[in-house]
A and B are shown apart, each in its own frame.
Chain A
Amino acid sequence: MAESEAPAAPAKAEPNHGLRIFLIWIVLALVADLLIWFLWYPHMPPGRQSSSAQHQAFDITVLGLAAAPVMLFVWTYFGYALINWRHRQDDDEDGPPIFGHTGLQAAFIAGTSVIVLAAFVFGTIELIVPAGAGAGEGPNPVWKPSGSNILQVQVIGQQWQFTYRYPQFGGMESTQLVLPVNRPVAFHVTSLDVIHSFWAYQLGVKADANPAVDNVAYTTPEHTGGFTVRCNELCGIWHGAMFNSGRVTTPTAFQAWARATELAEHRVGLLAALPPYSLTYDPTVIPQLGQEVVKVAGITGANGYYYPPQDPEQP
Chain B
Amino acid sequence: MSLPARIVTLLVAFAAVVAGAVFLAVYYIGGGPPTVNFVPEASGGQVNVVLQEDPQNTVTSRPDWVSYFVQDPVTKKWVHTTLFQVPANTRVNMTILGYDGCTPLRNNFWSRVQGTIGGTATVQQFKTVGQPLGVPKTFKVINSWSHCSVGHTFAIPSLHVFVPVASPNTKLFNSSACGSSPCTSGPHSMQKFSFYTPKTTGTFRWQCFVPCGGGFLDGNGGPMQTLGFMMGNMEVTS
Contacts and interface: CB of A to CB of B under 8 A. Distances in A.
Contacts of A192: 106-107
Given A160-B157, A241-B205, A273 B111 contact: yes
B181 to A, nearest CB: 16
Contacts of A274: 108-109
A100 interface: no
A120 B33 CA distance: 53
Interface stretch (B126-134, B192-200, B214-222): B214-222
A156 B109 CA distance: 11
Give the bracket for the number of chain B residues in contact with chain A. Answer: 35 or more
A281 B211 CA distance: 15
A293 B143 CA distance: 16
B141 A193 contact: no
B231 A238 contact: yes
Contact of A300 (B66, B103, B155, B216): B103
B160 A175 contact: yes
A286 interface: yes
B104 interface: yes
A42 B178 CA distance: 64
A302 interface: yes
A241 B207 CA distance: 11
Contacts of B217: 304, 306
B218 A283 contact: yes
Interface stretch (B7-15, B41-49, B145-153): B145-153
A273 B143 contact: yes
A275 B155 CA distance: 21
B224 A159 contact: yes
Contacts of A299: 102, 104, 148
B205 A238 contact: yes
A269 B113 CA distance: 12
A61 to B, nearest CB: 35
B225 A237 contact: yes
Contacts of B155: 161
Interface in A140-183: 156, 158-161, 163, 173, 175
Contacts of B102: 299, 301
B83 to A, nearest CB: 14
Given A283-B211, A301-B212, A193 B151 contact: no
Contact of A301 (B145, B151, B209, B216): B151
Given A270-B112, A303-B214, A283 B107 contact: yes
Nearest to B140: A268
A19 B31 CA distance: 64
A269 B102 CA distance: 20
Given A283-B107, A286-B104, A302 B210 contact: yes
Interface string B94-114: 000000111110111101101
A71 B103 CA distance: 59
Interface in B126-183: 140-141, 143, 145-146, 148, 151, 155, 157-158, 160, 162, 167
A301 B170 CA distance: 11
Given A163-B109, A238-B207, A283-B211, A293 B104 contact: yes
Contacts of B225: 159, 236-237
A304 B214 contact: yes
A267 to B, nearest CB: 9
A288 interface: yes
Nearest to A281: B107
Contacts of B140: 268-269
B187 interface: no
B204 to A, nearest CB: 9
A194 B66 CA distance: 21
Contacts of A236: 220, 225
30 contacts: A159-B225, A163-B109, A192-B107, A193-B106, A193-B220, A238-B205, A238-B231, A270-B111, A273-B141, A274-B108, A281-B107, A284-B218, A286-B104, A286-B145, A288-B145, A289-B104, A289-B145, A301-B103, A301-B212, A302-B103, A302-B211, A302-B212, A304-B212, A304-B214, A304-B215, A304-B216, A304-B217, A304-B219, A304-B220, A306-B217
Interface of A: 156, 158-161, 163, 173, 175, 192-194, 236-238, 241, 244, 265, 268-270, 273-275, 281, 283-284, 286, 288-289, 293, 299-306
